[in-house]
């Protein structure tokens, strides 16, 4: 948890940040290069599968007997990323919850704008339920856009009359595509990765003319009543800080059990940098305890 670790990671991320004005193809290429350079741990097995007709990456950890299921949504502002690239971080959630993880390869914009991702996410959850997995044995988890998508899927599932999973874990959720949070501007200098200028073109890619304030696009504006317990983790050095804070406020106002953890001095989805940053591992350990307690409570 040293300042030196934080400064080293900040420098690395600033070197690898996307240039403002770069195209979707260029950003996808850069992200593939970054993720391909980070091999999965030796005890993690990732294989292709489908859920409800949607491609997923099924992730298991050797030696962990999976008694539960995590439905995991990767980040990438709804335009970048894929299920396999998130397998390393997703496996850390599975490791701590004795769970098999299904990382969802939801369709991406601009080729497939809203509601493609939302539809795919709901289809995978419906498939888990149809496969006979009890809602009390299912967790949602996601980072960045995947955190927002996890909340949207909870809302969507509730509105479709489906039983909801036992809890959800949201890492730096991207929950307001109107970009109205004050931290979009006030944290610009501190955030080594994201900015309003980088996000605005990708918002247009995803919304494709739809109102960005729709609840299933920006769940900070959704009715969150009836949702299961939420754990929201965010760093103080990110432009999406206010997305997490306002999402937690909305959940609390709707009588949802919500825990918000703001870790000072760390960047967007800092949990992904556990090998470089002690705070990442510590946050994942806290999340594991939170989620395991909800699973235990559901089993009781």
Known catalytic residues are 144, 238, 268
Instruction: Write phi, then psi, for 299 (nearest 5 degrees).
Output: -75, -25
**CA nearest neighbour of 153 among 240, 72, 89, 75:** 72
- On whether the CB atoms of residues 61 and 95 are closer than 8 A, the answer is yes
Instruction: Give the per-residue SS3 of 75-138.
Output: CCCCCCCCCHHHHHHHHHHHHHHCEEEEEECCCCCCCCCCCHHHHHHHHHHHHHHHCCCCHHHE
Matching residue, tokens 């991207």: 174
CA distance 245 to 283: 17
DSSP characters over 226-246: T---EEEEEESSSTTHHHHHH
Instruction: Write phi, then psi, for 138 (nearest 5 degrees).
Output: -115, 135
User: What angle do the packed helices 278-299 and 87-97 form, to 10 degrees?
Assistant: 50
């Amino acid at each position: 948890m040293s300042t030196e670790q934080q400064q080293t990671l900040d420098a690395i991320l600033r070197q690898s940040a996307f240039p403002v004005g770069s195209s979707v193809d260029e950003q996808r290429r850069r992200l593939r290069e970054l993720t391909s350079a980070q091999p999965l741990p030796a005890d993690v097995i990732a294989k292709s599968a489908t859920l409800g007709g949607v491609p997923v990456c099924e992730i298991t950890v050797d030696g962990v007997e999976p008694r539960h299921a995590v439905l995991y949504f990767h980040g990438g502002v709804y335009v970048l990323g894929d299920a396999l690239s998130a397998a390393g971080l997703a496996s850390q959630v599975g490791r701590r919850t004795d769970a098999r993880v299904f990382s969802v390869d939801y369709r991406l914009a601009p080729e497939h704008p809203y509601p493609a991702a939302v539809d795919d996410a709901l289809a995978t959850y419906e498939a888990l339920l149809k496969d006979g997995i009890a809602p009390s044995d299912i967790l949602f988890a996601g980072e960045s856009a995947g955190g927002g998508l996890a909340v949207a899927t909870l809302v969507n599932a509730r509105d479709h009359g489906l039983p909801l999973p036992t809890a959800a874990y949201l890492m730096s959720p991207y929950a307001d595509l109107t970009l109205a949070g004050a931290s979009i501007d006030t944290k610009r200098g501190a955030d080594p990765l994201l900015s309003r200028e980088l996000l605005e073109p990708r918002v247009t890619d995803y919304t494709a003319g739809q109102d960005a304030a729709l609840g299933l696009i920006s769940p900070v504006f959704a009715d969150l009543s009836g949702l299961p317990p939420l754990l929201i983790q965010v760093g103080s050095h990110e432009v999406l800080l206010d997305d997490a804070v306002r999402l937690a406020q909305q959940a609390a106002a709707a009588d949802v059990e919500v825990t918000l953890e703001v870790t000072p001095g760390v960047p967007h989805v800092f949990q992904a940098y556990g090998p470089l940053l002690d705070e990442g591992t510590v946050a994942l350990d806290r999340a594991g305890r939170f989620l395991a307690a909800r699973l235990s409570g559901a089993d009781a």
